[in-house]
């Protein structure tokens, strides 16, 4: 492409300021470089313009399909290195590292943190800008992977996570599960400072095929396991990047087991536009249905499409109904709540309850 990445960055900023953000998406195609697609991904997780956010997600999925990939497979392949793992300068070479707060620090070959001269700062300026964009985007992407129960085969996880300068470091701030192909949790492990895999006893863990890797959701583990792992993280002063072991867990009331809808009533009406923006900032997309505007989210691993219908009284929303249906089956059929995967139920209820105070 003729335009430079810097020019695209500037064009995006200007387009958003002018309210023409949707037009900028025409710059992205299946032939776009990884650097360009990272900028599209930043738009996907931005809170600047929620219509733009939704359109960017759709564009990213279209590009992934054109490349013969699923959206999360494309996302795995475009994570920038951000200059991590490389040395800058000659007199006193330094590298960029992330401290406990995930702020960049500069460390020389003796392991000492030091300040940079203006000339040295110029050497790594581009990578630092990329890092500022990439960190929040990757953390949000990892939380989406947790919620959607995304799984990686051993070789892919080792390549895309342990073998990546940024994601290897982020992996140390998460708890991982090794899952059978049936979806059942077999082992829980973490990544230590030396990028070794350890179990709850700090013994080496051997990840073997055909086990798949995923972020541990608390509904996958027993309470005693969660408690023990919480102690391990506390001992090492590790705070997970996203709520994980202590993530709220919800289930539907037993009398609703054969229902196909969850409904939440608002004690006080919430303005429709504000609530739409709130959900879209959390990964939901606007769609059209027989009922008018609805919000949709796909839980692909669970083969579940969740549709939120916001019942209005004038401009205000008075309740939300969540319907669950299979989206890979033909015809698409509604789920009874008892047939929906527990993580999907828990995460949707969590969103609905949070929305009542949005």
Position with higher pLDDT, 5 vs 239: 239
Can you name the residues that pair with 310 across neighbouring β-strands? 320
| Residue 221 forms part of a structural domain | yes
Do 221 and 269 share a domain, yes or no?
A: no
| Residue 109 forms part of a structural domain | no
Least confident segment among 32-46, 56-70, 163-177? 32-46
CB atoms under 10 Å from CB of 281, counted, come to 16
CA dist 96 and 92 (Å) reads 13
- The pLDDT of residue 102 is 93
Which domain-ending residue is among 43, 62, 77? 77
CA dist 60 and 83 (Å) reads 25
CA dist 282 and 249 (Å) reads 18
Can you name the residues that pair with 190 across neighbouring β-strands? 198
What is the bridge-based pairing of β-strands 285-289 and 197-198? unpaired
CB atoms under 10 Å from CB of 195, counted, come to 13
Do 220 and 297 share a domain, yes or no?
A: no
Do 350 and 264 share a domain, yes or no?
A: yes
Write the secondary structure of 127-152 as one string of H (helix), E (strand) and C (coil): HHHHHHHHHHHHHHHHHHHHHCCCCE
Q: How many CA atoms are closer than 13 Å to the CA of 294, on its beta-carbon side?
A: 15
Do 214 and 270 share a domain, yes or no?
A: no
* % of the chain surpassing 90 pLDDT: 67
- Range(s) of the domain holding residue 195: 148-235
Do 334 and 265 share a domain, yes or no?
A: yes
Do 278 and 335 share a domain, yes or no?
A: yes
Which domain-ending residue is among 77, 104, 130? 77
pLDDT tens for each residue of 187-204: 999 999 999 999 999 999
Question: Is residue 39 scored above 70 in pLDDT?
Answer: yes
Position with higher pLDDT, 288 vs 128: 128
CA dist 153 and 146 (Å) reads 15
Q: How many domains does the chain have?
A: 3
Do 182 and 214 share a domain, yes or no?
A: yes
Which domain-ending residue is among 26, 61, 77? 77
| Mean pLDDT, all residues of the chain | 90
| Residue 90 forms part of a structural domain | no
Q: How many CA atoms are closer than 13 Å to the CA of 278, on its beta-carbon side?
A: 17
Do 187 and 271 share a domain, yes or no?
A: no
Q: pLDDT confidence of 329, banded at 50, 70, 90?
A: low
Based on its alpha-carbon atoms, the radius of gyration of the chain, rounded to whole angstroms, reads 22
| Residue 224 forms part of a structural domain | yes
**Rounded to 5 degrees, what are φ and ψ at 313?**
-125, 95
Residue with tokens 């992934």: 64
| Residue 162 forms part of a structural domain | yes
* Torsion angle of C-alpha atoms 19, 21, 22, 23, degrees rounded to 10: 100
Q: Where are the alpha helices (DSSP H) in the chain?
A: 5-17, 21-24, 34-44, 50-66, 71-77, 118-147, 154-157, 165-171, 223-235, 272-280, 342-355
| Residue 96 forms part of a structural domain | no
Query: Token pair for residue 122?
Result: 């110029």
pLDDT tens for each residue of 53-71: 888 989 999 999 999 999 9
Do 223 and 296 share a domain, yes or no?
A: no
| Residue 166 forms part of a structural domain | yes
CB-based burial, 152-185: b 16+ in 10 Å, e otherwise: beeeebbebbeebbbbbbbbbbbbbbbbeeeeeb
Q: pLDDT confidence of 1, banded at 50, 70, 90?
A: very low
Question: Is residue 2 scored above 50 in pLDDT?
Answer: no
Indicate yes or no: pTM above 0.95. no
CATH number at residue 286: 3.30.310
Position with higher pLDDT, 80 vs 1: 80
CA dist 275 and 291 (Å) reads 17
- The pLDDT of residue 108 is 97
CA dist 179 and 45 (Å) reads 28
Question: Is residue 139 scored above 70 in pLDDT?
Answer: yes
pLDDT tens for each residue of 255-265: 999 999 999 88
Position with higher pLDDT, 92 vs 276: 92
Query: Token pair for residue 138?
Result: 């990757």
Q: How buried is 26 (Cβ within 10 angstroms: 0-12 exposed, 13-18 middle, 19+ buried)?
A: exposed
79 and 138 Cβ atoms separated by less than 8 Å: yes
Do 160 and 197 share a domain, yes or no?
A: yes
| Residue 268 forms part of a structural domain | yes
CA dist 352 and 264 (Å) reads 7
Query: Token pair for residue 292?
Result: 């008018």
Do 349 and 284 share a domain, yes or no?
A: yes
């Amino acid at each position: 492409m003729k335009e430079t990445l810097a020019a695209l960055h500037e064009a995006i900023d200007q387009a958003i300021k002018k309210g023409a953000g949707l037009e900028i998406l025409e710059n992205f195609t299946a032939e776009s470089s990884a650097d360009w697609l990272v900028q599209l991904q930043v738009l996907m997780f931005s809170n600047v313009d929620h219509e733009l956010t939704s359109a960017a997600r759709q564009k990213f999925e279209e590009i992934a399909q054109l490349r013969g990939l699923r959206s999360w497979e494309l996302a795995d392949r475009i994570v920038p290195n951000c200059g991590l793992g490389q040395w800058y300068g000659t007199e006193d070479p330094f590298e960029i590292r992330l401290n406990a707060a995930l702020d960049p620090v500069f460390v020389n070959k003796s392991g000492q943190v030091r300040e940079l001269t203006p000339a040295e700062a110029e050497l790594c300026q581009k990578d630092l800008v990329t890092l500022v964009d990439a960190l929040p985007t990757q953390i949000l992407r990892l939380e989406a992977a947790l919620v959607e129960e995304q799984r990686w085969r051993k070789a892919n996880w080792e390549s895309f996570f342990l073998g990546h300068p940024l994601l290897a470091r982020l992996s140390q701030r998460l708890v991982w599960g090794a899952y059978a192909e049936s979806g059942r949790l077999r082992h829980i492990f973490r990544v230590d400072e030396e990028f070794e895999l350890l179990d709850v006893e700090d013994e080496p863990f051997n990840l073997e095929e055909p086990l798949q890797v995923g972020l541990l959701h608390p509904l996958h583990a027993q309470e005693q396991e969660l408690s023990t792992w919480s102690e391990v993280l506390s001992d090492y002063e590790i705070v997970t990047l996203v709520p994980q072991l202590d993530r709220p867990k919800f289930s539907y009331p037993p009398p609703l087991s054969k229902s196909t809808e969850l409904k939440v009533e608002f004690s006080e009406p919430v303005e429709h536009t504000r609530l739409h923006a709130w959900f879209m900032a959390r990964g939901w997309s606007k769609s059209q249905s027989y009922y008018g505007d609805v919000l949709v989210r796909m839980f692909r691993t669970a083969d579940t499409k969740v549709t939120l219908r916001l019942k209005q009284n004038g401009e205000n929303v008075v309740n939300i109904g969540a319907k669950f249906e299979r989206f890979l089956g033909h015809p698409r059929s509604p789920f009874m709540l008892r047939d929906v995967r527990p993580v999907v139920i828990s995460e949707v209820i969590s969103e609905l309850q949070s929305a009542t105070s949005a």
